[in-house]
Amino acid sequence: MDKIIILAMILAFGVALPKCDSAELRFKEDFLSRLVAWVPEILKQQDPETGRFGTGVWIVNDQEVMFPLAVAWSYKSPQNPYYRDSRVLDAIVKAGDALIADMKPDGRWEFRKKDGSTWGDIYMPWTYAAWIKTYSLIRQSISEKQRKRWDEALIHGFSGISENSLKRVHNIPTNHAMALYIAGQVFQRPQWCDQAKSFMARVVAEQDPAGFWSENHGPVIGYGYVYTDALGIYYAVSHDESVLPAIEKAVRFYSMFTYPDGSSVETVDERNPYHAGVRFPNTAFTLTPEGRRHVLRQIQRVNSHGGKISPDFCANYLLYGEEGVVEEQPDENDFVFRLDDGKALIQRKGPWFICLSAYHCPINQSRWIQDRQNFLSIFHERCGLVLGGGNTKLQPLWSTFTVGNVSLLKHTPGDENPTFVPADGLFHVPSSVGIGKTDPPKLALVYGPEKCSLEVQIKDSNTVNIRLTATHKSGMPVAAHLTFIPHVGKPVSTQNMAEITLGEDEINISAEEAGGWIAHGGWTVSLPPGSSVLWPVLPHNPYRKDGHATVQEGRIVVSIPFSSKENEHVVTIKVLP
């Protein structure tokens, strides 16, 4: 990265960046100071009697902070007051003992969540990884009695992982394979290292040429970082260079699918909707010059918002990250990027960032695989993500278009095992989607008997037009749905009505009642005749057993009907000065 650009970042945001002399990223001194600052916060969370960390309902994941403590304890530096600190080591041992006390006879734990729900027994991948990474640092420094207790528990657990958990390529087994390799090193079991290496070769083989992994059809974005994290740490401990090309491709893909504020692009993600905030890159990104450039940008974004980097990231970077050359490439604000398969497009122009997705597939009955239903996102540097938000299930109003009766698919409160496929009479996912090679970019979609299209045109630095068309041959209701990102607690304004504070109360107003437009979150949107504004339009949250969602997870939806006489609408989004 050009030194002038780095200087501009410092002047603009008034924050210190990791040292970058002659286009080199140096983060270890910075991350050590961050980790040292975390240690007192972590220690005060531990119950000295039980060894358990955290607050509220205890879950085994609470114990994963043992790893940052272990790095702080083992990292020799004049700037590290916790090096070989006996209190820290004692806290680490108690943390592992708490895991042993809660472990089932087969080495698994009950999968508990902070809401008190239980999801069966599991070799919790993140916990086992944190535990074995911790043990690799402290094993020779604890008593023989403690070492025997931990050896037995960890060998038992990783034996179960070796026998049962590396059947298919998926984010959890990939994390298990990384941890199993470290366990093979710690316990001198080369067969575990060989097994992990073979599995990582399968992970590499299943990577899409574009650089992502899929767990059904098309990319996972959020969980893609699990694959890269596991591969990055695996490389650091194994030096298996066969995984480096996959890491390089993944770094390029996931860096590209990042909004200008550092959050991940959700539009192509088959598993997770949009989550605000900087998606911090893992240590795999430190293995390439392009990745280190992304790391530098993300650190700058964290600092500019007064955020923190988690102790786990700090610890991993200190132990497994690589400092080095940063790719010298200026930030581009005017480009169009297409995946080679033509299934996704990113347009960056001035403050605008637009993503179109053409990934589509039949509805999957798994709660974890979302309906590919929402194909457009629009981001502006002043407002953040304006429109989009990704996919869900049991909510047709999140679909870019629908044909049929949207009431045929909905979430029944309390239903833990819903049927995710609608009854006959509704098409809310398309059977065909294509991105045309046009300027402006255009999506063509087929829903049952009807053909629809969507075109996005950037008019200027503050204005975007969305042109929507649909046939109306079947006699079934046809509608477009634009999903806007809410700012709960902020006002919603219209031409004709009193200002409304966005909250728990429902909103259902017509374009005519509103006066032809609404404003919220720093933008205004025009409302075509006959359209309506709905809030809160809630998703199905697969991470809660009954699928319920809060208003913070909802969307403001502008629903726009078509008819045989009205087969085209143009919606204008303006960002306020």
pTM: 0.94
Domain stop point among 305, 325, 345 = 325
- pLDDT tens-place string over residues 273-330: 999 999 999 999 999 999 999 999 999 999 998 899 999 999 999 999 999 999 887 6
Q: Are residues 341 and 395 in the same domain?
A: yes
Q: How far is the C-alpha of 199 from the C-alpha of 426, rounded, in Å?
A: 42
- The whole-number pLDDT of residue 2 equals 31
- pLDDT tens-place string over residues 528-571: 999 999 999 999 999 999 999 999 999 999 999 999 999 999 99
Q: Are residues 271 and 376 in the same domain?
A: no
Average pLDDT over residues 130-144: 98
As a 3-state breakdown, the chain gives helix, strand, coil percent values, each rounded to 5, of 35, 20, 45
Q: What is the pLDDT confidence band of residue 222, given thresholds at 50, 70 and 90?
A: very high
Q: Domain of 11: which CATH number?
A: 1.50.10.100
Alpha helices in 169-269 (DSSP H): 171-186, 190-205, 224-238, 244-256
Domain stop point among 296, 325, 354 = 325
CB 143 within 8 A of CB 128: no
Q: What is the pLDDT confidence band of residue 3, given thresholds at 50, 70 and 90?
A: very low
Average pLDDT over residues 503-525: 98
Q: Are residues 249 and 362 in the same domain?
A: no
Q: Are residues 304 and 341 in the same domain?
A: no
CB 524 within 8 A of CB 573: yes
- pLDDT tens-place string over residues 412-434: 999 999 999 999 999 999 999 99
Position 15 pLDDT exceeds 80: no
Q: Are residues 110 and 168 in the same domain?
A: yes
Nearest to 19 by CA among 396, 300, 438: 300
Say which residues have a Cβ less than 8 Å from residue 356's Cβ, sequence separation at least 6.
Answer: 267, 344, 345, 347, 375, 376, 435, 441, 443, 454, 456
How many independent structural domains does the chain possess? 2
Tokens at 380, concatenated: 């502006």
Distance separating the N- and C-terminal Cα atoms of the chain: 31
Q: Domain of 490: which CATH number?
A: 2.70.98
Share of the chain above pLDDT 90, in %: 94
Q: Are residues 255 and 401 in the same domain?
A: no
Q: Are residues 407 and 555 in the same domain?
A: yes
Q: How far is the C-alpha of 68 from the C-alpha of 82, rounded, in Å?
A: 11
Q: Are residues 416 and 282 in the same domain?
A: no
Peptide bond into 440 cis (omega under 30): yes
- pLDDT tens-place string over residues 267-279: 999 999 999 999 9
- The whole-number pLDDT of residue 108 equals 98
Q: Are residues 491 and 367 in the same domain?
A: yes
Position 20 pLDDT exceeds 90: no
Q: What is the pLDDT confidence band of residue 10, given thresholds at 50, 70 and 90?
A: very low
Q: Are residues 72 and 48 in the same domain?
A: yes
Domain stop point among 275, 301, 325 = 325
Domain that includes residue 224, residue range? 3-325
Read off the amino acid at residue 8: A
- pLDDT tens-place string over residues 450-492: 999 999 999 999 999 999 999 999 999 999 999 999 999 999 9
- pLDDT tens-place string over residues 52-61: 999 999 999 9
- pLDDT tens-place string over residues 346-388: 999 999 999 999 999 999 999 999 999 999 999 999 999 999 9
Q: Are residues 555 and 523 in the same domain?
A: yes
Q: How far is the C-alpha of 230 from the C-alpha of 208, rounded, in Å?
A: 17
Q: Are residues 358 and 313 in the same domain?
A: no
